[in-house]
Amino acid sequence: MSSKKFLIARLNHETNTFSPVPTPIEAFAPVYGGQAYQANKGMRTAMSAFIDLAEAEGAEIVSPVSAMANPSGPVHAAAYDELTRRIVEAVPGCDAILLDLHGAMVAENSSDGEGDLLARVRAAAPGVPIGVALDLHGNITPKMIANADVMVGFKTYPHVDMYETGEQAGRLLLEMWRGAAAYQVVWKSLPLMSHTLRSTTLSGHMREAVELAREMERGGVPAVSVFSGFSLADIEAPCVSVVATCSQGEVAAGKEAVQALAGKIWERRTDYIYQSEPLSDSLLRAQSLAKDATQPVLLLDHGDNCMSGGTCDTMDVLQAALELGLSGMAVGPLCDPEAVAMLTAAGVGAELEIELGNKVSLEHIGLHKKPLRLRGTVRAVSDGSYTVTGPIYTGQRCQMGRAVCFDIGAAQIVVTEQTHEPWDLGVFHCVGIDPTRFRYLLLKSRMYCRPVFVPLSAGLVECDSPGVTTSDYTRFTFDHVSRPVFPLDSI
């Protein structure tokens, strides 16, 4: 085959439409052309797998953009227009298209970020095969299905199979490009808004559903993906769906398989709903766990998790813990640039009183918070950088902006300039804190901290605080979601 020009690009964003955290183009830290290639080559992204497959074919690679922003509010229209324009304008002349997308992007000017992009790509390249790798939390839409020939989603959460997902999607697409196969994407969407804490593949029914998808693949369906959806988005269907890439001669069988798996999920729909306990009960349970423990008890503040669009500055869990008398706590990362500036200016060893956290307004979801006044000592100041030791994003260099260790006696708090997921012990080590020496670790996290921190802990307590990533749907107004839908409605 003489023509070998492949378009390979990455554009990832999970949009929490209730989040006040802005998403301008700078949030994506986009790189273009050769830099986009270099940013992914040798990494564990789906785009990296696409690159390896293309190079094995001896193909010319066109890499217009690689851009990823942490979950936050709707993508600014200018950012969406610019990043998608670069992909669409690179399409002409390409013989295969491989896109590393998320699946739950909402922009100010597009409620279906990936669907609108794929429709434009299809229009610019009629007849050219299009393959897509997606996050397990993708909100799949009819437009996405109609404009992709191959679609594969992650099968792990916490996500550790990004490369493998890209490899599977890329392998199937190259079979189409060679003329060795013809594929079609089929799907079934369910009126089920699952909670993110019930989408983990470490346990529970989501793990069982993903294993059934794997069994279908072993039985001959080229690709089967279970998407939990991302429900913190006020769009038509932020819902669970099942997607299969099947041979065009096996479309009927593919649809039957998808319907069967979707039916099993629907039968167990209550298992995808997280029931939060009162915060006071969670902290009392943690106190009991810590009584005779020789390792820290994890307190996960999943109501304010930046990897779902949280501000990382709400103080509810820390305040309640202090009022209950908990001590021996390591806390963070808590984002408060104003406090970092003040503490850094004061310098190591300085003792002062500051107003900490609760500075990003949550009035739009009816929450009225004031900063917490705390007195303490500056123990350390750093540039807030560290290298992930694994298992997620192993080897990646992370930046939290400047970071400070603020010691208030009952707790040592890591205060940062930027929101940051605690991927690694490095979030504490970078300011001289050894997290294993504390009675409690209060992390603003939902899932990604677990592979590293759970093995070091005596137990885990999930704390649902009032924030924009809470599991309490009653705090949000869903104006655009198609009804009825479970659990907002009894169906």
3-state SS record for 437-457: HCCEEEECCCCCCHHHHHHHC
Question: How many C-beta atoms lie closer than 10 Å to residue 484's C-beta?
Answer: 10
459, HSE (Cβ side, Cα atoms, 13 Å): 15
pLDDT above 60: residue 2 = no
Name the percent of the chain lying above pLDDT 90.
96
Residue among 319, 390, 339, 365 nearest 158 (CA): 390
Question: How many C-beta atoms lie closer than 10 Å to residue 17's C-beta?
Answer: 19
Q: How far apart are CA 113 and CA 158, in angstroms?
A: 23
For residue 70, name the pLDDT band (cuts at 50, 70, 90). very high
pLDDT above 60: residue 223 = yes
pLDDT above 90: residue 120 = yes
Residue among 141, 169, 129 nearest 153 (CA): 169
3-state SS record for the chain: CCCCEEEEEEEECCECCCCCCCECHHHHCCECCHHHHHHHCCCCCHHHHHHHHHHHCCCEEECCCEEECCCECCECHHHHHHHHHHHHHCCCCCCEEEEEECCCCCECCECCHHHHHHHHHHHHCCCCCEEEEECCCCCCCHHHHHCCCEEEECCCCCCCCHHHHHHHHHHHHHHHHHCCCCEEEEEEECCECCCHHHCCCCCHHHHHHHHHHHHHHHCCCCEEEEECCCCCCCCCCCCCEEEEEEEHHHHHHHHHHHHHHHHHHHHCHHHHCCCCCCHHHHHHHHHHHHCCCCCCEEEEEHHHCHHHCCCCCCCHHHHHHHHHCCCCEEEEEEECHHHHHHHHHHCCCCEEEEEECCCCCCHHHCCCCCCEEEEEEEEEEECCEEECCCCCCCCCEEECCCEEEEECCCEEEEEECCCCCCCCCHHHHCCCCCHHHCCEEEECCCCCCHHHHHHHCCEEEEECCCCCCCCCHHHCCCCCCCCCCECCCCC
pLDDT of residue 391: 77
pLDDT of residue 350: 98
pLDDT above 80: residue 168 = yes
**Average pLDDT of the segment spanning 206-222:** 97
| pLDDT digits 0-9 by tens, 224-262 | 999 999 999 999 999 999 999 999 999 999 999 999 999
pLDDT of residue 392: 76
What is the gyration radius of the CA atoms in the chain, in angstroms?
A: 23
Contact present, 72 and 42 (Cβ < 8 Å): no
Strand pairing class (351-356; 372-382): antiparallel
**Average pLDDT of the segment spanning 286-296:** 96
For residue 456, name the pLDDT band (cuts at 50, 70, 90). very high
Q: How far apart are CA 414 and CA 428, in angstroms?
A: 7
Which residues are registered as beta bridge partners of 92? Answer: none
| pLDDT digits 0-9 by tens, 399-420 | 999 999 999 999 999 999 999 9
pLDDT of residue 1: 45
pLDDT above 80: residue 8 = yes
Strand pairing class (130-134; 150-153): parallel
410, HSE (Cβ side, Cα atoms, 13 Å): 13
pLDDT above 70: residue 88 = yes
Contact present, 304 and 367 (Cβ < 8 Å): no
pLDDT above 90: residue 178 = yes
For residue 281, name the pLDDT band (cuts at 50, 70, 90). very high
Name the residue ranges covered by the structural domains of the chain. 5-272, 279-470
Q: How far apart are CA 411 and CA 375, in angstroms?
A: 11
* Residues 28-42: b if buried by 16+ CB within 10 A, e if exposed: bebbbeeebbebbee
- Which tokens in the block code for residue 161? 């199979």
Q: Is 369 left (phi over 0), alpha (psi -120 to 50) or beta?
A: beta
Q: What is the pTM of this model?
A: 0.95
Q: How far apart are CA 129 and CA 306, in angstroms?
A: 35
- Which tokens in the block code for residue 473? 């749907």
- Which tokens in the block code for residue 302? 């999943």
Name the percent of the chain lying above pLDDT 70.
99
Peptide bond into 487 cis (omega under 30): yes
